Amino acid sequence: MASRSSALARPPAFRGIGRSILLTLPIALWSLLMFMPSFQHAGRDRHISALLVILFMTTLFFLMMRTGETYRWRRIFFVAMGFLFPFGFIAALVAERGTMSIPISRMVSGDTPFCFMVTPSLLLPAAFARTIIFPGSILPTASNPHSIAAMIGVWFAMTLILGKAWCSYACFFGGIEEGFAAFPKRRRLHRFITRFGAYLRLIPWAILVFVVLASAALFEPVYCMWLCPFKAVTEFPAVRNVTTAVQMGIFVALFVGLVVVLPYLTKKRTQCGFFCPFGAFQSLFNKINLFEIRFDREKCVDCTLCQTSCPTVALSKESIREGKTLLNCMKCGACVDACKKDAAVWHLKGTPVAVKPERARLLFLYGAWALATMMGGSILANSVATMVHWLPWK
Amino acid sequence: MEVKEKRMRTRILSILAYTGAGLTLVVAICVPFVLFQVFTNVVAHVGLHIDPAYSGGTVARTIDRGGYRIVVYQPVQPRLLERIEPFVQIVFEPADALPARVTDEIDLDGDGRPDVRVSFNLPADPNTPLRGDVTALNATYISLASVGGESFSRMVVRTGNKIVVRVPLNRGTVH
């Protein structure tokens, strides 16, 4: 297998077309399997959207195989999911209730769709009082198919496979800031982030501890009620008094600051790297996950290109010297793609470092992309179906 | 000897790692067909319940009013730092069997004497926000005037085919 050299000297194709197609075939079949129900039951909008999503996911995987690059193609999927999820979600809300705000009547009837971001807040009350502090329903109902049991079930299953890679293959919010981070050519505040990265990385852990303890003490999902930036683009409690107005103000300020402005300025996923408590919680699962990124110290020249390219500051000079990423690495592949010496490699724990890294990458990508197709693909299909439905010339 | 041992160890570890990676793939394939449902069932059957501040708690008894019924719930007490008042939930159902104007005196604690008088007009359009009045007939409860969906402890709202009323309790009288 051809080895990758520098980005500039990189051969135009990492793998031949035939071999790339062959390696893409399982994902193509998986995509067809995932969207089979759309072809069997739903209308023309669904057929078109399913077909487009199958083509989209399969093509991106093919390009990963053909070029040997991961980050670039994953990012296209991830940003598409990030921007299309709120579009489809808001369209569904407006069609159903005419507003993005969730009235208290829907909360007491258990109709709030469950979001995985609240999971850490639920842990202590669930463990010690057997109580779920979320206004949803435990089992799916006709009015709320996104039940707590179903969403926690899918999160847990996917976390076993992806670990922290959930944040770069499955999170339907992260793509928004990754999109804004992709716009500018120049990165600003780079020196600040490099200098204070070690402290900035600790903030999500501090917020996680605060959110878990405060949620247990107040018996309410503190992150959802006060700190979630993505409430601004999904649904939020209806503004009915000063408290809910303040909450709404915080959601909008956090969204604009952490998801739009700072990613645009720094080219980093600032909400994910410096704020998200769920991301910190998810980092713990990297310990039990088999896949990771490692550095071949014999090839590494300490150019820190990998550190600069990392969207969540999951690398430090010390960690690179030790040949490892930090615990919050989300396996997006940015450092591997950026490394001009092929020193950053995909790695399967237990195997020697830098021996058959492409095999490790393939094993990881099949699982990750299969789940990305299952979860992200269905999100994309829903949103695309909504767009197709609204086409003026249809 | 040491080199041989080290090589053997590396080999065993590699075999285990690749077996684990293979299993991960199997798990990934099983997620939508088997595992998703298995995990869902596990979560559903560990005996968890929704916080009564949202669900209203457990049903105490049902009062039959002929065409409709009134479901009275157990009083909900806030936990130590919980930001809600103690309340009791009353549900009128089915909403489509209710008269246009509802006025009901309800015995909440089961002592045979009415505790609150609940009154509201039922709009023909189910999407029209509901407002109602609650008059406390003893010191245990707090009266509400023209209340809608203001807070989790004070509300008269429509949810589907039900009217949910929450009456706050006087903290000093709650045991």
Of the three residues A289, A312, A347, the one that is the final residue of a domain is A289
CA distance B170 to A129: 25
Mutation to test the A interface, candidates B13, B33, B48, most A Cβ within 10 Å: B48
Q: Which domain holds residue A361?
A: 1-99+357-394
* Residue B99: strand, helix, or coil: coil
* Phi, psi of A297, deg, nearest 5: -65, -25
Mutation to test the A interface, candidates B50, B127, B161, B166, most A Cβ within 10 Å: B50
Confidence of residue B50 (pLDDT cuts 50, 70, 90): very high
**For B158, which of A105, A147, A218 is closest by C-beta distance?**
A105
Same-domain pairing of A285 and A328? no
Same-domain pairing of A252 and A104? yes
**pLDDT attached to residue A13:** 67
Omega within 30 of 0 (cis) for the link into B94: yes
Q: Which domain holds residue B30?
A: 1-48
Joined tokens for residue B7: 């090589």
Confidence of residue A194 (pLDDT cuts 50, 70, 90): confident
Same-domain pairing of B120 and B61? yes
Same-domain pairing of A182 and A167? yes
Of the three residues B48, B63, B81, the one that is the final residue of a domain is B48
Same-domain pairing of B22 and B64? no
Question: What stretch of H or E contains A305?
Answer: helix A305-309
Same-domain pairing of A11 and A58? yes
Residues 68-87, chain B, touching A (beta carbon < 8 A): 78-83
Same-domain pairing of A232 and A362? no
Same-domain pairing of A173 and A38? no
Confidence of residue B174 (pLDDT cuts 50, 70, 90): low
CA distance A225 to A206: 18
C-alpha dihedral sign at A158, A162, A164, A165:
negative
pLDDT tens sequence across B59-84: 999 999 989 999 999 999 998 888 88
Residue carrying structure tokens 């031949």: A16
Same-domain pairing of B56 and B93? yes
- Report the gap between the CA of B107 and the closest CA in chain A (Å): 23
Interval B128-152 mean pLDDT: 92
pLDDT above 50 (res A3):
no
pLDDT tens sequence across A285-319: 999 999 999 999 999 999 999 999 999 999 999 99
Same-domain pairing of B37 and B70? no
Domain count, chain B: 2
Of the three residues A289, A309, A328, the one that is the final residue of a domain is A289
CA distance A182 to A267: 6
Interval A307-333 mean pLDDT: 95
Q: How many Å from the N-terminal Cα to the C-terminal Cα in chain B?
A: 76
Same-domain pairing of B26 and B89? no
Same-domain pairing of A201 and A316? no
Is residue A259 within 8 Å of residue A180, measured between CB atoms? yes
**pLDDT attached to residue A394:** 57
Specify which residues A344 forms β-bridges with: A295
**For B149, which of A30, A104, A135 is closest by C-beta distance?**
A104
A31: nearest CA partner in chain B: B29
Same-domain pairing of A237 and A134? yes
Same-domain pairing of B5 and B32? yes
pLDDT tens sequence across A367-394: 999 999 999 999 999 999 988 887 766 5
**pLDDT attached to residue A64:** 97
Question: Among A79-88, A250-259, B2-11, B53-62, which stretch is predicted with the lowest mean pLDDT?
Answer: B2-11
- Contact list, A131 vs chain B (CB under 8 Å): 48-51
**pLDDT attached to residue A7:** 45
Same-domain pairing of A303 and A169? no
Interval A228-250 mean pLDDT: 90
**pLDDT attached to residue B119:** 96
CA distance B142 to A200: 48
- Report the gap between the CA of B30 and the closest CA in chain A (Å): 9
Contact A107 B54 (CB under 8 A): yes
Same-domain pairing of A283 and A295? no
Domain count, chain A: 3
Same-domain pairing of B19 and B62? no
C-alpha dihedral sign at A13, A15, A18, A24:
negative
pLDDT above 60 (res A350):
yes
CA distances from A17 to A24, A26, A346 (A): 10, 15, 22
A-B C-beta contacts closer than 8 Å: 160
Rg for chain B (alpha carbons), in Å?
27
Same-domain pairing of A21 and A82? yes
Same-domain pairing of B35 and B56? no
Same-domain pairing of A258 and A299? no
Of the three residues B32, B48, B64, the one that is the final residue of a domain is B48
Confidence of residue A341 (pLDDT cuts 50, 70, 90): very high
CA distance A240 to B151: 9
Written as one string, the DSSP assignment of A126-183 is: HHHH-EE-SSS-SS--SS--S-HHHHHHHHHHHHHHHGGGHHHHT-TTHHHHHHHHHS
Same-domain pairing of B147 and B126? yes
**pLDDT attached to residue A1:** 41
Question: Among A21-35, A127-141, A220-234, which stretch is predicted with the lowest mean pLDDT?
Answer: A127-141
Residues 103-132, chain B, touching A (beta carbon < 8 A): none
Same-domain pairing of B164 and B100? yes
pLDDT above 80 (res B1):
no
Same-domain pairing of B116 and B57? yes
Contact B81 A217 (CB under 8 A): yes
Share of chain B above pLDDT 70, in %: 97
**pLDDT attached to residue A185:** 80
Of the three residues A289, A312, A345, the one that is the final residue of a domain is A289
